[in-house]
Structure 1
Amino acid sequence: MRAVGLITEYNPFHNGHLHHLRASREAAGAEVAVAVMSGHFLQRGEPALLDKWRRTEIALRCGVDLVLELPFVFACASAPDFARGAVACLDALGVEALCFGSEGGDLEGLQRCAAFLDERAADIETGSAALLRQGLSFPAARTRVVAQLADGAVDGELLATPNNILGIAYLRALRSLGSAITPLTIPRLGAGYHDLTVGAGNIASATGIRRRLADGEAVTGLLPAAAEESVRQTLAAGLSPDYDLLHRLLLARLFQGRDALRSLHQVEHGLEGRLFKAAMASRSWEDLVQGVKSRQFTRTRIQRLLIYLLNAVPADEAAGLLAGGPRYLRLLGSSERGRRYLATVRRRARLPLLANLSRARAQMLRHYGGETEAFRQARSMLDLDVRATCNYTLLLPGWQGERRDRDYFETARQTEG
């Protein structure tokens, strides 16, 4: 069975995602669609609108066959680390193709840009650092340096749009892994990534949909029926993150003092003082982010840093986990067709497939031949995933579950078809 991989967040699953899913199957000639999906915290440093099990159920009902969770340490990370973790999961499972959305659908142009970034990495880093000191933001600095160094050989503007940036990161990850996966891209339809308006085909961005929901506006017709109903029920039950709760939890962490911040992931020298000062003055999540943000530290980077703070992610541990790559494949759900596919690939998958965490330790011990360094990394990676789930439930005003470590008693979702 030929499989196409999708790298997703589904926050929430909307009409554009449905188009991408269907177009990816067609472009790859695939029978099976495998989604590697972020868990409870996302690449831009935000909690997901719906928990990962609800998002899995929606994805399966809308036609995805297999949903794997991207471990937290990769899901809430910069584009290169996010891409490397997700591509490594798909590569370890053995999918034949990866299809991603891009602004223009120009695969050759994106591949040229990816190759150039790899070949001139040192020069680009040096040039970008110089422009950062002059006051440019990192994205603007890198775009300008690439345009200057490439001298027309590649289009530096490809680095100026969100989907292209991620697409190039996926291509670089495929190159670095020496993966046999075939890359494919389809042009994004409808509204742009950050647009708040509705585009052609009744396609709005996830950002625009979340803004409408936050403002109490209707999103009828912008999501498949299965997604719209689940979103409505989740919001009505108070089971979507409350940013006031997030802000208060972060303040409690920040008030532990500057010394407690210095050992955390991405807290560079001097940044702990900026964080502490912003905490003392902030009255909301937005105040806190704005109080720390600067030309050197983009909004997205600050949001990710705050999520590392929430989940107490040590710098040395995160660095080791990111360098080692994913250590397991976490199954969140499957269709009947997805289960048939798993039966054919399970034995040749290069990472242990975890469907039930009560058996995870034994599985990983067998796979890694005992308590090796790789096994210890797998345990640390899984511990972070579980911690992220526990902290996510603290953000839900309507949470009434008996336990917060849901990862240990939630089973992989299954649908027919």
Structure 2
Amino acid sequence: MNVLGVVVEYNPFHNGHLYHLEQAVTQSKADVTVCIMSGPFLQRGEPALVPKRERAEMAISSGADLVIELPYMFACQHADIFAAGAVSICRELGVTDLNFGSEHGESASFRKLVDFLFTHRGHFDERVRFHIQGGCSYAKANELAYRDLETPDSLPDLSQPNNILGFHYTKAAAQAYPSLRIDTVKRKGASYHDITPQHSSIASATSLRQMLQRGEDISSFIPEASRHILAQLPRMRFWEDYFSILQAKVITASDTELASHYDMSEGLHNRMKRLMKEAAAFEQWLHLVKTKRYTLTRLQRNAVHILTGLTKDEASAASDGHNVDHIRVLGMNEQGRFYLNEAKKHISVPLYTKMSSKKTPQLAIGERADNAYALLLPPTERQKEWRKDYDLPPLLLF
């Protein structure tokens, strides 16, 4: 049986995602398709526009069979940890093929790139340290070190965001799940960072979120299922909606408490607190705090960890190498349920189709993230969302 895995955020699910999903199914000759999807907060440190249950419904309505949550401990992380968590889920579920979208569009080159960087690992690591000492962020230091190696032009360009993720998926698979087949689909019609649509029917999720924030119509860029689900939502969620909550947490926390948050660098907490009093909005605060070393994405992830209260000690205790400590099912169709019933015989970690009082460390942290995600809602709506997240069984679409 060919079991396809795709790692997704679907924020929201649009025509470009549909194209990738259809192409990936064709390439892998998949009998079942598993989406490994981020939960309430995403890889670049943003709240999901749409709650995860509704995004799972978009995925299943558009061709996925089974949707599994990528735990918060991996979902809101640097690309290497993000990818490692996804590959760990693939291994637990017996996924045979992992497919990702990329700017490069040729899978063998990613395997060659992993081999190339492994061969030059010492030099590469030295150049990364050099650029970090020069004040670069970790991501920028990696990009510059990659250029310093004078990598052959035939290999993927690691300044491109989806190429970066593709490289880390390939690397994580080589290290932890070498039998996993890796393939890619070339991105079509829109660049990840495009802020305005460049194609009549395909636009980046970034541009669609900005259009939605401005109240513009995106119906020509999303499938019918996404249109229907978005139309039923009482509201969509943006960072600005959480700013007053974040502001209260930053300003009222002690220096020791603020410094204890996960991924908080020495001295950054002081800069965050001082500049928070000067900001009237989230974007303004971000740009005040931003430096050459502290990128907007890095700061957004820091802000998420403050919002969820994740500390360095908790993160350390919940880490198991780069492995997930549970599988949480968000939704499935009949084919997905049939496959899950077979796969669960071999899963080595707890499988959750409904929440219980006994939680793994990563799941307990994920519950806090879900709770924080609902904080912007009025009290009665907040309670409904918490019950939806933890009292309802997975979404079933037949």
- TM normalised by structure 2 equals 0.94
Q: How many angstroms apart in 1 are the aligned matches of 2:163 and 2:240? A: 33
Distance 1:314 1:212, change over 3 A: same
Select between 36-45 and 192-201 the one with higher mean Cα deviation.
192-201
Q: How many angstroms apart in 1 are the aligned matches of 2:134 and 2:291? A: 13
CA deviation profile, 1:187-206 (whole Å, cap 9, x unmatched): 01111101123344611000
CA positional deviation for 1:400: 1.7
Root-mean-square deviation (CA), in Å?
A: 2.0
Q: How many angstroms apart in 2 are the aligned matches of 1:310 and 1:355? A: 26
Distance 1:243 1:146, change over 3 A: closer
Distance 1:227 1:344, change over 3 A: same
Q: How many angstroms apart in 1 are the aligned matches of 2:385 and 2:119? A: 46
3-state DSSP class of the match of 2:360?
helix
Residue 342 of structure 2 is aligned to residue 338 of structure 1: no
Residue 271 of structure 2 is aligned to residue 274 of structure 1: yes
Q: How many angstroms apart in 2 are the aligned matches of 1:119 and 1:154? A: 17
Distance 1:124 1:248, change over 3 A: same
Tell me if structure 2 keeps the 8 A contact 1:246–1:395: yes
In the other structure, the counterpart of 1:227 is 226
In the other structure, the counterpart of 1:251 is 247
Residue 184 of structure 2 is aligned to residue 185 of structure 1: yes
Residue 393 of structure 2 is aligned to residue 415 of structure 1: no
Residue 347 of structure 2 is aligned to residue 349 of structure 1: yes
Residue 289 of structure 2 is aligned to residue 292 of structure 1: yes
Distance 1:152 1:54, change over 3 A: closer
In the other structure, the counterpart of 2:117 is 117
Pairing of 1:55-94 with structure 2 (within 5 A): 55-94=55-94
In the other structure, the counterpart of 1:210 is 209
Distance 1:69 1:32, change over 3 A: same
Tell me if structure 2 keeps the 8 A contact 1:99–1:184: yes
CA positional deviation for 1:292: 1.8
Residue 325 of structure 2 is aligned to residue 327 of structure 1: yes
Distance 1:281 1:147, change over 3 A: same
Select between 87-96 and 249-258 the one with higher mean Cα deviation.
249-258
Q: How many angstroms apart in 2 are the aligned matches of 1:252 and 1:127? A: 40
Pairing of 1:22-37 with structure 2 (within 5 A): 22-37=22-37
Distance 1:203 1:245, change over 3 A: closer
Identity of aligned pairs, percent? 34
3-state DSSP class of the match of 1:286?
helix
In the other structure, the counterpart of 1:371 is none
CA deviation profile, 1:355-403 (whole Å, cap 9, x unmatched): 0113x73xxxxxxxxxxxxxxxx62211111111111111246962535
Distance 1:25 1:85, change over 3 A: same
Distance 1:19 1:348, change over 3 A: same
Q: How many angstroms apart in 2 are the aligned matches of 1:114 and 1:321? A: 28
1:341 maps to amino acid: Y
Tell me if structure 1 keeps the 8 A contact 2:240–2:281: yes
In the other structure, the counterpart of 1:310 is 307
In the other structure, the counterpart of 1:370 is none
3-state DSSP class of the match of 1:159?
coil
In the other structure, the counterpart of 2:8 is 8
Unaligned runs of 5+ in 1: 362-377
Tell me if structure 1 keeps the 8 A contact 2:89–2:324: yes
Tell me if structure 1 keeps the 8 A contact 2:104–2:157: no
CA positional deviation for 1:101: 0.6
